[in-house]
Chain A
Amino acid sequence: GEDVEQSLFLSVREGDSSVINCTYTDSSSTYLYWYKQEPGAGLQLLTYIFSNMDMKQDQRLTVLLNKKDKHLSLRIADTQTGDSAIYFCAESIGGATNKLIFGTGTLLAVQP
């Protein structure tokens, strides 16, 4: 079945780069997404990548996709304390049903 895995926790110092990793299982996924969740809030869409792309850059965010290994990563450059949150990756399944499968989330803690 479909499964999306992420490491539970990442701690970095302010100003460093953060890399959050994700592995997924459905090779037919069309899109892969990164969401951010702050405490007690909903999920905020950060970025997404089409499955035929290797990389996508959006300001401080860089997404890398290794389709062969089914590995997705999110790099945050110059990490700030405001980046402290839980980050979820998600893969699309089911084509027109738009269903997403979410990972368990990675808690990013940014130390000042």
Chain B
Amino acid sequence: DGGITQSPKYLFRKEGQNVTLSCEQNLNHDAMYWYRQDPGQGLRLIYYSQIVNDFQKGDIAEGYSVSREKKESFPLTVTSAQKNPTAFYLCASSSTDRGRAYEQYFGPGTRLTVT
């Protein structure tokens, strides 16, 4: 059963602590993405990776870090430098094959609350 998994579904942290959100896919996709969603807003791109061991900053990368050591995995670390980390975080993946529509498939999301 192919898809994208994110864990945990809910995460609570104290201010000042780093936290890592997990994202795994078994769709054999080369590209993976992290988005942040705030109430009443669309999705904003944090980081993306088109191939293993390479990633690029998105529109709101400050206070976040990522790694891409394996094709299947793209963990996101929310650092203490992120000023307003409470949000819903979504991971996605897509094929990079030519001739495809490059549609992105999403995981179920992780809701992070920092107090």
Contacts and interface: CB of A to CB of B under 8 A. Distances in A.
How big is chain A's contact interface, by range? 20 to 34
A23 B41 CA distance: 16
B22 interface: no
The 7 closest A-B pairs by CB, nearest first: A42-B106, A102-B42, A43-B106, A98-B102, A102-B43, A104-B42, A42-B108
Contacts, number: 59
* Residues of A contacting B: mostly: strand
How big is chain B's contact interface, by range? 20 to 34
B2 interface: no
B6 to A, nearest CB: 8
B32 to A, nearest CB: 10
Interface in B93-112: 94, 96, 101-109, 111
B74 interface: no
